[in-house]
Amino acid sequence: MTNEQKVSFEEAMNKLEQIVDKLEEGDVPLEEAIAFYKEGMELSKLCHNKLKSVEEQLTQIITEDGSKQNFAIEEEE
């Protein structure tokens, strides 16, 4: 799982889908199938982690001078 930082969620999902398709087709040699399965489980875990690690992301606003500031919704009165 060293490549966790490099793979985007989208890539990981697509890869996972491809692996599932391949495994379901069933004509993969067993050793490869096991390798695919391992990779698939890792990808699945990776995706899961990415989705779960909800360190509440930031909402920022670009100010007049072009810098970013945290943004909070102003409740309308």
Partner 1 sequence: MQEKKYLTVLALTKYIKRKFDADPHLQDVHVRGEISNFKQHSSGHMYFTLKDEKARILAVMFSSQSRTMKFSPENGMKVVVKGDISVYEPSGQYQIYIKEMQPDGIGELFLAYEQLRKRLEAEGLFSVEHKKTIPSYPKTVGVITSPTGAAIRDVITTIKRRYPIANILVLPALVQGGNAASSIARAIEKANTLDGIDVLIVGRGGGSIEELWAFNEELVARAIHQSEVPIISAVGHETDFTIADFVADMRAPTPTAAAELAVPHIDELMERLLQRKTRMLQSMNGRYRFEKQRLDRVQKSYAFRYPHRLYEQKLEQVDKLTEMLVRGASRLTDVKKSQHETIHNRLMRNHPRVALREAESRFVRSQKDIGRAMEQILLKKQTEFKRIISTLQALSPLKIMERGYSLVYSEENQLIKSIKQVKENEPLQIQLTDGSLLCNVQNIKESENRDE
For partner 1 (CB under 8 A), the number of binding residues is 36
Q: Read off φ and ψ for residue 6, nearest 5 degrees.
A: -80, -40
> How far is the C-alpha of 7 from the C-alpha of 11, rounded, in Å?
6
Residue from 1, 32, 35, 60 that binds partner 1 (CB under 8 A)? 60
Is 46 within 8 Å of 12 (Cβ atoms)? yes
10 binds partner 1 (CB under 8 A): yes
Residue from 4, 17, 32, 35 that binds partner 1 (CB under 8 A)? 17
Residue 1 or 61 having the CB closest to partner 1: 61
For residue 62, give both structure tokens: 């670009």
Q: What is the CA radius of gyration of the chain?
A: 20
Is 2 within 8 Å of 36 (Cβ atoms)? no
77 binds partner 1 (CB under 8 A): no
**Where on the chain is the footprint of partner 1 (CB under 8 A)?**
8-10, 13, 16-17, 19-20, 23-24, 26, 30, 33, 37, 40-41, 44, 47-48, 50-51, 53-54, 56-62, 66, 68, 71, 73-74, 76
